[in-house]
Amino acid sequence: MGTTLTKAPESAAHTVDAAGIAARIEHVSKSFATPAGQQLVLDDITLDVAQGEFVTLLGASGCGKSTLLNLVAGLDKPSVGAIATDGRPALMFQEHALFPWLTAGKNIELALKLSGLPKAERRPRTEELLTLVRLEGAYGKRVHELSGGMRQRVALARALAQDSKLLLMDEPFAALDAITRDVLHDELTRIWRETGVSVLFVTHNVREAVRLAQRVVLLSSRPGRVAREWTVDIEQPRRIDDTAVAELSVEITEELRGEIRRHGQH
């Protein structure tokens, strides 16, 4: 259904929970087999996401951002290192991946069913989630009746339906127009603050990273390594054109350009 349920080993989940950590990535490397031999995509990544924290992963195309997110989601395993999460992460993609033959409400109810919520409680919970993402009255709408932004709102509600403590987002707004993306930035910030969920958000858009995050993590070009981190001490809600957002974005962009130059990528 486009949103994948994964669960960390119980001992690991309890360890990170006790430490106030939603996700712990320890010395993780990932290689893939190619005709030319093993290709190192991620190299010795160590990163924590605290409970309730919003972290953006930033880097040039091909640096391994999505690969790292897939490892945290449990869709693949590290070649080296360990990953622990506090329970089941929920994963949201760039494409909404909604079932077109189901209504908006039924797409969300399917996630609730898979998470074990009793049938009698699914419709009320679905209506709550639609209200949370400001889609009241959209329960019976088919996917083709929804705009791109509305579809992503349903996808977000479906991810939240899993009642996960960690939300993994892989460039979920990249395909949307600028105005819709701007509105959904506001909505995501509001939902994050209301729910207290931890977010690990992948993007290649520097302004988006700064607007949303409490912490921005820059990955170097392949192989991906943690090149630098920034704590974003800018009061929320933020605007994409705020002076402080623009100034930090310029600094991060220069660092990103330096990483690309150092690794000879264009």
Segment (H or E) for 81 = strand 80-85
Q: How far is CA 151 from the centre of its chain?
A: 16
* Angle of helix 148-160 versus helix 104-114 axis, rounded to 10: 20
Report which of 144, 72, 69 is spatially closest to residue 107, judged by C-alpha positions: 144
Q: What is the pLDDT of residue 18?
A: 55
- Domains defined for the chain, CATH in brackets: 10-262 (3.40.50.300)
CA angle, residues 257, 263, 266, in degrees to nearest 5: 60
Q: What is the pLDDT of residue 11?
A: 38
Burial of 148 (0-12, 13-18, 19+ CB in 10 A): middle
Question: For the chain, what's the residue count?
Answer: 266
Positions of the chain with pLDDT lower than 70, given as ranges? 1-18, 264-266
Instruction: Please list the residues that pair with 89 across neighbouring strands.
Output: 166
Place of tokens 């010395």: 27
Instruction: Please list the residues that pair with 92 across neighbouring strands.
Output: 169
pLDDT, tens only, 254-265:
999 988 887 764
What 8-state DSSP symbol labels residue 141? -
pTM, entire model: 0.88
Instruction: Please list the residues that pair with 39 across neighbouring strands.
Output: 32
Q: What is the pLDDT of residue 146?
A: 92
CA dist 15 and 53 (Å) reads: 17
Which amino acid belongs to residue 170? D
CA distances from residue 121 to 39, 51, 131, 197 in whole angstroms, order as listed: 48, 27, 16, 22
Contact (CB, 8 A) for 195 and 35: no
